[in-house]
Chains A and B, each alone.
Chain A
Amino acid sequence: MGYLEVEGVAKSFGPAKVLSDVSLALEEGEFVSLLGPSGCGKTTLLRIVAGFEEPDRGTVRLAGTEITAEPPAKRQMGMVFQAYSLFPNMTAEENIRFGLKVRRVDANEQAERAQELLELVGLMQHRGKYPHQLSGGQQQRVALARALAIRPLALLLDEPLSALDAKVRVQLREEIRRIQQETKVTTIFVTHDQEEALSISDRVVVMHQGQLSQVGTPAAIYGEPDNIFVARFVGAVAELPAEVVDGTEGIVELFGRKVRAARAQGMAAGTRIYFLLRPETVRVGPEGANGGLDGTIAGRTFFGALTSLRIELADGHGSVTTAMPSDQAGELTPGARVSVSWADDAPRILRRE
């Protein structure tokens, strides 16, 4: 049994079904991200856990107690919101003390706790500033400190980084992870940014159309997607249609040629599959290289350390993307004819309906 459990939760807004039969359990101290595109139900699920939405069906349990009908103020959960949510009439320190004040905690204890948290989020010198005098990143750190001040049983983060610029996002997400590990608070983090989810979570829950598409460690989500939605949503992937020829040896037929795919072993001959290639597993060689698929470089994008190439396969067989260190991408310019290959165990195989 988990520490924070959601069981059989369903929710509709009018005719729109937002969540259908969602169950999820978090261990104490775990950091779990809910990842999915807009409208997949991740924020609704978080708001049901927080108590801001009532599920049509299902239960929410925290530390062994059912809290489905408890109002948010009674749930002892800290929350950080996507929008800046600091109280404009209060300084950073007053914001942090607010939750303790309404709980009538002793003033000395309030001050001690606020100081502790200001140090934790590195804003001691800004304690007397009002929200409008703080940057976006600082405001979200104060909001985090305010959520932690009440020693929450769970911390809920609703896309807290999405309003920040790229550099601050990276800094703050690392800081959130550090603080979570220091405080060991059970955390649910909602995001639509896969990099964020993969980089700071113990487990990632990928959501799609109101259901959990896959739950697993970041490495499993990226490396072993359970279904085509997860494969497409998390990271870039080339999907090549293929068919298993020999399940014992792991041979598949790809565009009329037989290639080895270790992960096709054990599948029945004739099974229609997706042959999935992540960019980092694709090797680019000279045209006509042994065993490769020929193609033409159709696009090239420079990302600094890495350069991404889009290669159109010959005969209209679709395209493959690869990423390589920029210093190795020198002559691979659009129009160049190349061949793409991969290691036998690199392609992921998913059944094609």
Chain B
Amino acid sequence: MRKRRRSETGPKIGLVLIGLYFLVPLVSTGAFSFWEGGNRYGLRAYVALVHEQQLWQSLGLSLRLAIETILVGLVILVPAVFWMNLRVQRLRALFDFVSVLPFVVPPIALVAGLTALYRGPSWFVGTANYLVVPYVILALPYTYRALEVGMRALDLRTLTEAAQSVGAGWLSIMFRVIVPNLSTALIGAALLTIAIVMGEFTFANILLFNTFAVYINYVGQTAATEAAALTLLSFLITWLAMLGVLLTGRGQVQIGGAR
């Protein structure tokens, strides 16, 4: 009995230590964000931030880029992963390999390559929209994996053939049968993309676009307490995205099988 109690205590202590490892810096950052000099603590940093137009601009830009990245990524990947699973499963290894390339190639090398490679109209290359290209690449591993898991859980071939046999064309199959049954995977992919884009710094900084992460860095160099407040805010966005992934995963539609 005593032995069992000891074995339960060990992991608990481990968990508490790990929790502290993550929480202490956050609590300290939080405490620092309320510091107003000397012994005074208050919301001054937050009030200043709320009134800072640049914050809202950079936040808006990052959110817009996140949405564009989600749309472009899904428009490319949903049909590609669908086709691979349905017709060319022998290419799965190639898809898997390509999907992890962004982990292997450092962002700094990617951005150097991109600037050399892309020559295009100024409305594209000259604006922040250009960032969508590297962001789609950065989000690729997560988007691909989420879609791949979602599609493997469906019996794609049978569903597709069942739809075809009653007269459905490819568009109907895609939008009425496949996509609605991938909602969990799609939401997961979208939220992970938001988390990545909101925190991405290298590309935006080098290509001179003032995204949310670049703004946090700028504030960090000029106003320390405001930077701490902003860091917490960006954590909050990421956490909300992750919470969304967890919640949608939990409420997953039951697919196939019988009662």
Residue positions of A touching B, CB distance < 8 A: 50-52, 71-79, 81, 83-89, 98-99, 101-103, 131-136, 139, 143, 146-147, 149-150, 156, 163
CB neighbours of A73 from chain B (8 A): 164-165, 167-169
Q: Output the least CB separation between B53 and chain A (Å).
A: 44
- Chain A residue numbers with a CB within 8 Å of B180 are 89
CB pair A98 B158 closer than 8 Å: no
Chain B residue numbers with a CB within 8 Å of A135 are: 258-259
Given known contacts A78-B165, A98-B163, A87 and B177 CB-to-CB distance under 8 angstroms: yes
Q: Which B residues are closer than 8 A to A by beta carbons?
A: 154-155, 158-159, 161-169, 172, 176-177, 180-181, 253-259
CB pair B164–A136 under 8 Å, yes or no, is no
Residues of A within 8 A of B155 (CB): 83-85
Give complex CA distance A146, B162 in Å.
9
A residues in contact with B159, CB < 8 Å: 85, 87
Q: In whole angstroms, what is the CA distance A83 to B177 when docked? A: 16
Given A52-B161, A79-B161, A134-B258, 14 more A-B residue pairs with CB atoms under 8 Å apart are A72-B161, A74-B167, A83-B256, A84-B256, A84-B258, A87-B162, A88-B253, A88-B256, A98-B163, A99-B168, A131-B256, A132-B253, A135-B258, A143-B162
Interface contact B167-A132, CB-CB below 8 Å? no
Q: How far is the CA of A74 from the CA of B169 in the complex (A)?
A: 9
**Cross-chain pairs A/B with CB under 8 angstroms, 16 sampled:** A51-B164, A72-B165, A74-B167, A75-B165, A84-B155, A84-B257, A84-B258, A88-B181, A88-B253, A88-B255, A88-B256, A132-B255, A132-B258, A134-B258, A135-B259, A136-B259
A98 touches B259 (CB 8 A): no
Most buried by A among B166, B168, B181, B257: B166
Give the chain A neighbours of B161 by CB distance below 8 A: 50, 52, 72, 79, 81, 85
> How many angstroms between the C-alpha atoms of A101 and B180 in the bound complex?
16
Q: How far is the CB of B164 from chain A (nearest CB, A)?
A: 4
| B168/A102 in contact, CB under 8 A | yes
- Beta-carbon contact of A149 and B181 below 8 Å: no
Most-contacted residue by chain A among B162, B253, B255 (CB, 10 A): B162
> Quick check: B256 and A99 within 8 Å, CB to CB?
no
Q: What residues on A are CB-neighbors of B181 within 8 Å?
A: 87-89
Give the complex CA separation of A135 and B162 in angstroms. Answer: 19
Smallest distance from the beta carbon of B176 to chain A beta carbons, Å? 7
User: Which of A71, A83, A133 is within 8 Å of B164, CB to CB?
Assistant: A71
In the bound complex, residues from chain A placing their C-beta under 8 Å from that of B165 are: 50, 72-73, 75, 77-79, 147, 156
CB distance from A19 to the nearest CB of B (A): 19
- Give chain B nearest CB distance to A39 CB in angstroms: 19
**Chain A residue, CB-CB nearest to B161:** A52
Query: Does B259 contact A85, Cβ atoms closer than 8 Å?
Result: no
